[in-house]
Chain A
Amino acid sequence: MSDLEAWRAKAVAWCESMVPTFGKAARKGLSVEDDLALGRRYQKAKFDAGFAGINWPTDLGGQGLGHIEKITFEAEEMKHGFPNVYFGISLGMPVPVLMQFGPDRDFVKERVLKALQGEEIWCQLFSEPSGGTDLAGLRTRAETDGNGWKINGQKVWTSWAQYSDYGVIVVRTDPTVAKHKGLTYFWVDMKAPGVTVRPIKLAGGDSHVNEVFFDDVKISDDHRMSPVGGGFAVALATLMIERYVATDSAGFGPHLDLFVDLAKEVRLNGKPAIEDGRIRQQIARNYAMRAGLDSINVRARRMMEAGMTPGPEGSLNKLVAVRSRQKLSELALDLQGAGGFAFDEHASPKDDWASSWINAPTGRIAGGSDETLLNTIAERILGLPQDHRPDKGIPFNQIPA
């Protein structure tokens, strides 16, 4: 057994041992608050068992292993529906960025350890009402205030802000220069005076995203994580950190097996739907697409194991998988006809078609919209020209609103 196989076996055994306490059945019917409390206990158990911060440095509480061990564990973890969603962004981007750019190392160490054990949660305050895709177009501003700064403005779509202790934030510190040159990157205490968090209810019924208002929020200069005016680079680094995020060819919706089962149960025109050509075609096309993604992902893992860098085709994952999940979920509801109306707001999008369908659009927007991903593939991988950008090189305050 290779080291990696041994690691996988250890992960499998641990995950299975956690199912009674933290699995889907244990979470059923819990309020968000109770589920979060369970999640914190899960995160602590994970830390104690040596599965938290797998590829992070040991002096900051991590395991000092590689990316391959991390995704191997996550692939196993994903199978059980544990309450880890609350820490996805926190440990995914803001905390690693803090590790890399946080100026006060003692502070950093304390925060990282608490985040790894589920005691503290971080959020990422990038998007604003004026635009999310156009990250450098943000308007929230920070002005110098004595030795520190004073923040005013509004962020939006901030995941888990209502439960967050800290956040990383990009703000405009100089509106008189080109838009991406006037940004600075800070961390903020989400409980500081002047910070107001207001949950936004999403289409599917849950409220994990928020509006966050900043009214004269005072922070000292030691919160700064980039040079003044150098925030855009750190923001990009934040977005790049999780390049090989955990992948799922089902687009974080139901597995195709569930659709096949449904098609075998349901009758269309008096015959099992699985015999209907339209249904068969969708199953076959979905399978071919998902099998392709799986194969890309396995190859990427093998390459990492062999010390090589995987190709850029991993960037197809979210784009291709979520779109197909959305259509397949519609079709699953079609198949159920009037029986498809039943809806449970708390059902899991991994095994409930209505929940998968209503929540699918967020997957096509959050973490880079389909259009952005296509632009990235076209520009970065294929070398096609950049879009026309009329705001290029113009001082931010002179860009027509």
Chain B
Amino acid sequence: MSILYDEGQQAIATESRRALEARVSKDELLPLLQTQGVYHQPFWATAKEQGWTALALPEAYGGLALGLIELGLIAHQAGRTLSGAPFLTSSFGAAKAIELYGSDEQKARWLPDLASGETIGAIAFAAGPDPLPAEPTVTLTGDRLTGIAGAVSGGLFADVAVVLASGPSLVLVDLSGVERAAIDSFDNSRCIADLSFADTPAETLATGDAARAAALHILALQAVVTAHEQTGGAEALMEVARTYAVTRKAFGQPIGAFQSIKHRIAELYGLVELARANCIHAASREGQADFITAAAAARLSATEAYDTAARDCVQIHGGIGVTWEIGLHLHMRRARSLALEQGSSFFWEDVLVDRLAGDEA
């Protein structure tokens, strides 16, 4: 598969950028941080209107039958503007799980509404620091689920979740009756919640080794979307840093003339371009044997790019960089929440090295 974007793909990038820049502003995002349980409605409304939720789903269920490449382009733009809701990734992950591992009945029941964005999906695999635990905290007995799925991104508003439960088994759960407790986070717009299952009906998608493999695959798909979002965030920060470095003056010259500043921005350029290259490559490997390897590389370089860009951009701004108002901390927070959401770098390093050493589990 080609790793050059075609005209249609480039149009998606331009159009989504235009739509997002018109609809998302830092002044709307800042208040979200101080309140639990609020996401940025205009972002999600835009996503639905523009068909982003339908983009990578099959036509038979109201999708647009495009793929990870196109979704990645949008996630990149969402990352640039700091999308104020986690659902682009999590609904996509849940929908893909249903598409790949669900029955015809389950697909018919959930996919059309996930495609239109009316239904919101979530993924609940993690147990504490482990994004893919060998012993999940949620117990499956028969077709009933018990226990707490902790810190589910988007969990506060999700209608349906794909859960990794004991067995291991991958199950589909209607969340309508499920109790949720919002987590007060450094990035509240992620709408993170603990989901408490108490004898909750669940439908099995996969069991045993197949469940783990399926969960890793879903996590990798989400990681590639997230990596695009991280790269977008890093790119935006690099541009902000660059602009500030040519305008702000000290000692009679722009601070960008000091090599400790300009070289830092040049290093960011390197991190952003490596992450972008890995993202494009990973998206184009969907369905291939090396997809997980490519996803891990994308994830690692994008996390490094966004975290570094967040740190350095604040530093380059000096005092103003650490104020609430200017909002660089929005990116700092987002860089960290995205770094944790689909499994930390420790996890992806292990996945990658296992594959390179030829002994993947």
Residues of A within 8 A of B (CB): 256, 260, 263-264, 274, 277, 280-281, 283-285, 287-289, 291-293, 295-296, 298-299, 302-303, 306, 313, 316, 319-320, 371, 374-375, 377-379, 381-388
Interface membership of B270, Cβ < 8 A: yes
The reply to whether A284 and B348 form a contact with Cβ atoms under 8 Å apart is yes
The reply to whether B277 and A283 form a contact with Cβ atoms under 8 Å apart is no
The reply to whether B263 and A280 form a contact with Cβ atoms under 8 Å apart is no
Q: Which of A292, A319, A375, A381 contacts B278 (CB 8 A)?
A: A292
A-B contact pairs, 5 of them (CB 8 A): A288-B352, A296-B274, A378-B256, A382-B269, A384-B256
Question: What mask results when residues 328 to 361 of chain B are scored 1 for a CB within 8 Å of chain A, else 0?
Answer: 0000000000000000001011101100110000
Interface membership of B265, Cβ < 8 A: yes
The closest CB in chain A to the CB of B269 belongs to A377
Interface membership of B275, Cβ < 8 A: yes
The reply to whether A384 and B246 form a contact with Cβ atoms under 8 Å apart is yes
| Complex interface: stretch among B123-131, B175-183, B186-194, B295-303 | B295-303
CA distance A81 to B270 in the complex (A): 29
Q: Given contacts A281-B349, A287-B352, could you give 13 more A-B pairs where the C-beta distance is less than 8 Å?
A: A284-B353, A288-B298, A295-B3, A295-B280, A298-B3, A299-B4, A313-B277, A377-B270, A381-B269, A382-B242, A383-B242, A387-B257, A387-B259
Q: How far is the CB of B130 from chain A (nearest CB, A)?
A: 15
The reply to whether B300 and A285 form a contact with Cβ atoms under 8 Å apart is yes
Residues of A contacting B: mostly: helix
Number of A-B contacts (CB under 8 A): 132
The reply to whether B274 and A316 form a contact with Cβ atoms under 8 Å apart is yes
Interface membership of B288, Cβ < 8 A: no
The reply to whether B277 and A384 form a contact with Cβ atoms under 8 Å apart is no
Contacts known (A381-B269, A382-B266); A388 close to B253, Cβ less than 8 A: yes
Residues of B contacting A: mostly: helix
Residues of B within 8 A of A (CB): 2-4, 242, 245-246, 253-254, 256-257, 259, 262-263, 265-267, 269-270, 273-275, 277-278, 280-281, 294, 296-298, 300-301, 304, 346, 348-350, 352-353, 356-357
Measured between beta carbons, the chain A residues less than 8 angstroms from B275 are 292
CA distance A319 to B271 in the complex (A): 12
The reply to whether B4 and A319 form a contact with Cβ atoms under 8 Å apart is no
Q: Which of A256, A292, A302, A384 contacts B265 (CB 8 A)?
A: A384
The closest CB in chain B to the CB of A281 belongs to B349
The reply to whether B356 and A256 form a contact with Cβ atoms under 8 Å apart is yes
Contacts known (A302-B4, A313-B273, A388-B253); A377 close to B278, Cβ less than 8 A: no
Q: How far is the CB of A244 from chain B (nearest CB, A)?
A: 16
Measured between beta carbons, the chain A residues less than 8 angstroms from B253 are 385, 388
The closest CB in chain B to the CB of A314 belongs to B273
CA distance A299 to B3 in the complex (A): 6
A-B pairs, 3 with minimum CB distance: A292-B274, A284-B349, A295-B277
The reply to whether B259 and A302 form a contact with Cβ atoms under 8 Å apart is no
Contacts known (A377-B266, A382-B269, A385-B256); A291 close to B281, Cβ less than 8 A: yes
CA distance A386 to B296 in the complex (A): 38
CA distance A281 to B347 in the complex (A): 10
The reply to whether B297 and A375 form a contact with Cβ atoms under 8 Å apart is no
Q: How far is the CB of B153 from chain A (nearest CB, A)?
A: 23
The closest CB in chain B to the CB of A302 belongs to B4
Q: Which of B262, B274, B348, B357 contacts A260 (CB 8 A)?
A: B357
CA distance A320 to B275 in the complex (A): 13
Q: Which of A274, A295, A371, A382 contacts B281 (CB 8 A)?
A: A295
Q: How far is the CB of A292 from chain B (nearest CB, A)?
A: 3
The reply to whether A292 and B3 form a contact with Cβ atoms under 8 Å apart is no
The reply to whether B4 and A382 form a contact with Cβ atoms under 8 Å apart is no
Q: Which of A280, A291, A296, A385 contacts B273 (CB 8 A)?
A: A296
Q: How far is the CB of B202 from chain A (nearest CB, A)?
A: 35
Q: How far is the CB of A268 from chain B (nearest CB, A)?
A: 14
Contacts known (A283-B353, A288-B300, A293-B277); A306 close to B246, Cβ less than 8 A: no
CA distance A288 to B230 in the complex (A): 15
Measured between beta carbons, the chain B residues less than 8 angstroms from A277 are 346
* Of A280, A283, A293, A295, most B-chain CB atoms within 10 Å: A295
The closest CB in chain B to the CB of A305 belongs to B4
The reply to whether B353 and A280 form a contact with Cβ atoms under 8 Å apart is yes
The reply to whether B259 and A371 form a contact with Cβ atoms under 8 Å apart is yes
Measured between beta carbons, the chain B residues less than 8 angstroms from A298 are 3, 281
The reply to whether B300 and A385 form a contact with Cβ atoms under 8 Å apart is no
The reply to whether B257 and A388 form a contact with Cβ atoms under 8 Å apart is yes
CA distance A264 to B353 in the complex (A): 11
CA distance A303 to B280 in the complex (A): 14
The reply to whether B349 and A280 form a contact with Cβ atoms under 8 Å apart is yes
The closest CB in chain A to the CB of B242 belongs to A382
Q: Which of B263, B277, B297 contacts A299 (CB 8 A)?
A: B277
Q: How far is the CB of A247 from chain B (nearest CB, A)?
A: 13
Measured between beta carbons, the chain A residues less than 8 angstroms from B300 are 284-285, 288
CA distance A384 to B268 in the complex (A): 13
The reply to whether A374 and B266 form a contact with Cβ atoms under 8 Å apart is yes
Measured between beta carbons, the chain B residues less than 8 angstroms from A295 are 3, 277-278, 280-281
Q: How far is the CB of B1 from chain A (nearest CB, A)?
A: 11
Q: How far is the CB of A132 from chain B (nearest CB, A)?
A: 18
Q: How far is the CB of A390 from chain B (nearest CB, A)?
A: 13
Q: How far is the CB of A273 from chain B (nearest CB, A)?
A: 11
The closest CB in chain A to the CB of B350 belongs to A280
Q: Which of A283, A378, A383 contacts B356 (CB 8 A)?
A: A283
Measured between beta carbons, the chain A residues less than 8 angstroms from B298 are 288
CA distance A68 to B205 in the complex (A): 48
Measured between beta carbons, the chain B residues less than 8 angstroms from A386 are 257
CA distance A375 to B267 in the complex (A): 10
Measured between beta carbons, the chain B residues less than 8 angstroms from A281 are 349
Q: How far is the CB of A289 from chain B (nearest CB, A)?
A: 6
CA distance A300 to B311 in the complex (A): 30
The reply to whether B246 and A383 form a contact with Cβ atoms under 8 Å apart is yes
CA distance A264 to B358 in the complex (A): 11
CA distance A367 to B262 in the complex (A): 21
Measured between beta carbons, the chain B residues less than 8 angstroms from A303 are 4
Measured between beta carbons, the chain A residues less than 8 angstroms from B280 are 295, 299
Q: Which of A274, A289, A385, A388 contacts B301 (CB 8 A)?
A: A289
Q: How far is the CB of A307 from chain B (nearest CB, A)?
A: 12
CA distance A287 to B304 in the complex (A): 13
